Amino acid sequence: MRLRFWILALGAIFFSLPAQAQQGDADFTARLHRIAAQLGLPGFSAAVVQDGKIVYRHHEGIADRASGASITSGSLFGIASVTKSMTGIILSQLEAEGKIRLSDPLLAYPLNTGWHPPEGIGDPNITLGDVLSMSAGGRPGETYVYNGARFNLLSGLFDKVSATASPQSYVVQNRQRILTPLGMTETMTGYQKDNPLAARAVKRYQAEASPTGWHYVERPYDWDAAYPASGLISTIDDLARYAAALDRGTLIGQAAYERLTAPRNGHPYGYGWFTQVSAGMRLHWVFGYGQAESALFLRVPDKKLTFIFLANADTPSALAQLDYADVLRQPFGLAFVDGWVMGGKAIDFDRPLADVARAIGAKPAPMVVEQLLDEALLQAFRARMAGQGGDRVVALSELLLRVAPERFARADVYMLRLLADVTSPGLEPATRQLLASFDLNADRRPVIPFWSGEVLEKLGDSVGAMKLYALLCDREGFDDEPMKAQACERLGSHELAAGRIGAGRRHLWHSARISRLANDGGEFDRKLALLAGTGARH
């Protein structure tokens, strides 16, 4: 009876809202619209949930470019890795029931190598908690490296608990523990074309770069089930039900929630959830980055406030690179935190840069600096995809150096990404200062030596770059990481060109094996062809 009352109460919450509560804030809507326009998004839908109620809702754009059908409030979107947050909750429930322990070794459960290569397990002593906290690629629990697919190593656990084979084993648990109790009847566990909900699913679009500006290519739904890592297809309203349940402690108690969202081993990730603090405010979040969709589910738990963002294209998440754990680098997320949480105002970056500089002043507030960094990263992404517009990126980066030089003095992965795209003599001293801020012995994330190497190549220091690629390629662990494969290939190609044939072939072969493990057959074959063309004597 209590469960039925809860579902009925949720229905009243979401379908009895006064119209003015859904119209939202015009300034916030304008911010979302401007970002979407910069990315050329086909369409998106967004909402803010507070105290269990939708207090803001906005959608725009098209669900299907061929037919011209519009996004609606009932459109379904792939939510990709937002599914992971539910996986964390399910494992917390299973542990409370005494069915598992997060300290159990992963290999104590069946291992489904079809979902992820076993070489992605950095050590046989990796635990369930290490996988759930994104710290399973090297020594147990030591290094946080986001690897979305690695979550599927948990599928064997679900097979055992459900007494059902994958992928239905996860679907059974998710329906039983999340979807059905919350009345999430508008959520599909994978795309089933015969499901009546499929008619409301948006078309999916992937951006492809071109010299004249990227264009979007439609991609089919190519999965028919949900997995520990991803796979759900849902609506704003159903995800709002999920947000309300988290606010009210319906799925797990407060202590269990705090454990899931606490930084594990000092990392920016708990168990299925990112966790960070901005301006003294706790932010708990999870993002989705599929081949042709983006999603963000961002909670401010101390205010019982949640932002939900869904798009039918990959560019919002491709731009943000949220793997590196700062939700402020997703412009839609920053707009929410700045506008809804901090009460800030948007900077008009469409004006001439001199006007922008005058508007932000010599010592801008912290959230203004965050906006400036996001704008630089946004324009760098646009330039990278279209091959033009680099001058604006340089000017924004130089402005950032003038008003916030401290951002170049601390180890920040996103600053490294920006400077890998920018070439400017005026930025070189600050760039070298940033590179020196990273401790490559203590910080074992593959992204650090890889992007640092790219920056050094931009600066003309190929010797220094190759040393960093060698550090990454020869380091133990993370043999399922694409950046490691790229580093090994660049190093091997450099060695072959320099006449160091043996070393070059070893590193190129290492790169090929990583590509093979990642099931990237095309890359594996390409690298085999490169190897075949080296070292032969006739």
- Domains present along the chain, CATH in parentheses: 83-186 (no CATH), 438-532 (1.25.40)
Give the pLDDT confidence of 64-81 residue by residue, as tens digits: 999 999 999 999 999 999
Residue 239 has a pLDDT of 99
| Nearest to 175, CA basis, from 127, 215, 103, 231 | 231
Question: Does the structure show a pLDDT above 90 at 252?
Answer: yes
As a whole number, the mean pLDDT across the chain is 92
Report the distance separating Cα 335 and Cα 357, nearest Å: 20
| Exposure class string for 201-218: b at 16+ Cβ within 10 A, else e | bbbbbbbeeeeeebebee
Spatial separation of the C-alpha atoms in residues 366 and 358, rounded to whole Å: 16
pLDDT for 535 equals 63
Overall average pLDDT of the 311-326 stretch? 97
- Comparing CA positions, the residue from 149, 114, 117, 119 lying closest to residue 131 is 149
For range 224-240, the mean pLDDT: 98
pLDDT (0 to 100) of residue 18: 36
Give the pLDDT confidence score for residue 20 in this predicted structure: 35
Tens digits of residue pLDDT in 500-514? 999 999 999 999 988
Are the beta carbons of 243 and 53 closer than 8 angstroms?
no
| Confidence at residue 305, expressed as pLDDT on a 0 to 100 scale | 98
Give the whole-number percent of the chain exceeding pLDDT 90: 81
At 520 the pLDDT is 58
- At 518 the pLDDT is 60
Would you state the pLDDT for residue 536?
55
Is the Cβ–Cβ distance between 234 and 77 less than 8 Å? Answer: yes
Per-residue pLDDT tens for 201-220?
999 999 999 888 889 999 99
Q: Is the pLDDT score of 519 beyond 90?
A: no
1 pLDDT exceeds 90? no
Read out DSSP for 441-471?
Answer: TT---THHHHHHHHHHHHTT-HHHHHHHHHH
Whether residue 22 has pLDDT greater than 50: no
For residue 105, list its beta bridge partners: 127
pLDDT range class, residue 121, cuts 50, 70, 90: confident
Read off the pLDDT of residues 74-101 as tens digits, 9 standing for 90 and up.
Answer: 999 999 999 999 999 999 999 999 999 9
pTM, two decimals, is 0.92
- On the question of pLDDT at 302 being above 70, the answer is yes
The per-residue pLDDT for 10 is 40
d(CA 112, CA 110): 6
Mean pLDDT, rounded, for 349-359 = 97
C-alpha span between 480 and 318 (Å, rounded): 20
pLDDT value of position 525: 86
Report the pLDDT averaged over residues 249-258. 97
CA angle 405, 407, 410 (to 5 degrees): 120
Q: What proportions of the chain, in percent to the nearest 5, are helix, strand and coil?
A: 50, 15, 35
Does residue 8 carry a pLDDT above 50?
A: no
DSSP string for 292-343: S-EEEEEEEGGGTEEEEEEESBSHHHHHH-GGGS-GGGSHHHHHHIIIIIS-
Region 102-119 average pLDDT: 86
CA atoms within 13 A on the CB side of 364: 27
What residues pair up with 288 in beta bridges, in sequence order?
295
Between the alpha carbon of residue 457 and those of residues 426, 467, 474, the distances in Å are: 17, 11, 19
Listed residue (113, 127, 32, 61) closest to 331, CA to CA: 32
